[in-house]
Structure 1
Amino acid sequence: MKTKENWLTAWSVLRERTFRRFFIGEATSLLGDGMTAVALSFAVLDLTGSASDLGFVLAARAVPMVATLLIGGVMADRFPRRRIMVTADLVRFASQGTVAVLLLSGDAQIWQLAALQAVQGMASAAFDPASAGLVPSLLSGELLQQANGLRGMAFSGGGIAGPALAGLLVALSGPGWAIAVDAATFGVSALMLSVIPIERQLPTTKNSFTHDLREGWSEFRGRTWLWMTVASSSLGNLLLSWIAVLGPLLAKRDLGGPAAWASMNAVLGVGLFVGGMVAMHVHSERPLRTGILALTIGALPTLGLALQLPLLLLCALAFVAGIGVAIFSSVWATTLQRNIPGDKLSRVNAYANFGSVACQPIGQALVGPVAAAIGVYSTLWLAAGIQLLSAMVALSTPAIRKLPAEAEVTPTEVGTRPRT
Structure 2
Amino acid sequence: MTAAPILAPDAASPWRSPPFRQLMAGRTLISLGSAITPVAMALAVLRLGGSATDLGLVVAAYALLDVVTTLFAGVLGDRFSRTALMRGSAALACVSQAVVAVSLGTGVASVPMLAVMSALNGALAAIAGPSSRAVVPQTVPAAALPTAVSVLRLAQNTAMVLGFSLGGLLVSLFGPGWAIGVNAAVSAAAAVCFTVMTVAPLAAPAAGSLLGDLGAGAREVFRHTWLWVLIIQALVYHLVYGGVQGVVGPVMVTRIFGEAAWGWSLAALMVGFMAGGVVTLRYRPSRMLLSGTAFLALTACFPLAMALPVPLWVVLAGAFLHGFGLEIFSVNWDLAIQQNIAPDKLARVFAFDQVGSFVMRPLGLVLVGPVAERLGERHWLVVTAAVMAGSTALALLPPSVRGLRRQSPPATPTPSPSDPVAPPPSDPVTPPRPDRVPAAAGDQPAP
Per the alignment, residue 247 of structure 1 pairs with: 249
What secondary structure sits across from 1:265 in the alignment?
helix
Q: Distance in 1 between matches of 2:109 and 2:371?
A: 40
> Structure 1 residues 112, 202: CA separation in 2 closer, same or farther (over 3 Å shift)?
farther
How much has 1:242 moved relative to structure 2?
Answer: 3.0
- Quote the RMSD (CA, aligned, Å): 1.9
Deviation at 1:169, TM superposition (A): 1.0
The answer as to 2:138 corresponding to 1:137 is yes
Q: Distance in 1 between matches of 2:115 and 2:376?
A: 36
What CA deviation, in whole Å up to 9, does each residue of 1:358-399 have, x standing for no partner?
221222233223223322212111111111111111112111
> Which position in structure 2 is the counterpart of 1:159?
160
Q: Secondary structure at the match of 1:382?
A: helix
Which residue pairs with 1:295 in the alignment?
Answer: 296
Q: 2: CA distance between counterparts of 1:61 and 1:232? A: 24
2:269–2:320 CA contact under 8 A, matched in 1: yes
| Equivalent in the alignment of 1:3 | none
Shift of 1:197: 1.8
Provide the residue aligned with 1:80 in structure 2: 81
| SS class of match (2:343) | coil
| Cα distance in 1, alignment partners of residues 110 and 443 from structure 2 | 49
In structure 2, runs of 5+ residues without a counterpart are: 1-8, 409-441
CA positional deviation for 1:173: 1.1
Corresponding position of 1:349 = 350
Contact 1:72 1:125 in 2 (8 A): yes
Q: How many angstroms does 1:33 deviate by?
A: 0.4
1:250 aligned counterpart, secondary structure: helix
Residue 258 of structure 1 aligns with which residue? Answer: 259
Structure 2 contact 12–145 (Cα < 8 Å) conserved: no
Provide the C-alpha distance between the structure 2 equivalents of 1:308 and 1:83, rounded to a whole number of angstroms: 52
- Name the aligned partner's letter for residue 237 of structure 2: G
1:41-120 paired onto structure 2 within 5 Å: 41-120=42-121
Aligned residue in 1 for 2:423: none
Aligned-partner SS, 1:344: helix
CA contact (8 A) 1:95 1:117 kept: no
- Give the Cα–Cα distance (whole angstroms) in 2 for the partners of residues 248 and 179 of structure 1: 25
Residues 126-176 of structure 1 deviation map (CA, whole Å, 9 limit, x = unaligned) = 110011110011111222211111121122112211111111111111111
| Counterpart for residue 24 of structure 2 | 23
CA contact (8 A) 2:50 2:111 kept: no
Map 1:250-329 → 2, pairs under 5 A: 250-255=252-257, 257-329=258-330
Give the C-alpha shift of residue 258 in structure 1.
2.0
State the SS of the aligned residue for 2:135. Answer: helix
Q: For structure 1, which segment, 129-138 or 38-47, has the greater mean C-alpha deviation from structure 2 after superposition?
A: 38-47
Aligned to 2:123: 122
Listed one character per residue, the Cα deviations across residues 299-327 of structure 1 (whole Å, up to 9, x for unaligned) are 11111112222111111221122111111
1 CA distance for matches of 2:12 and 2:381? Answer: 39
The TM-score with structure 2 as length reference comes to 0.87
**Structure whose residues are more often helix by fraction:** 1
What's the offset of the Cα at 1:44? 1.6
Could you tell me how far apart the structure 1 residues matched to 2:204 and 2:244 are?
44
Q: How many residues align?
A: 405
- Cα pair 1:35 1:162 within 8 Å, conserved: yes
Give me the identity figure in percent.
Answer: 36
Is this contact kept in 2: 1:153–1:273, CA < 8 A?
yes
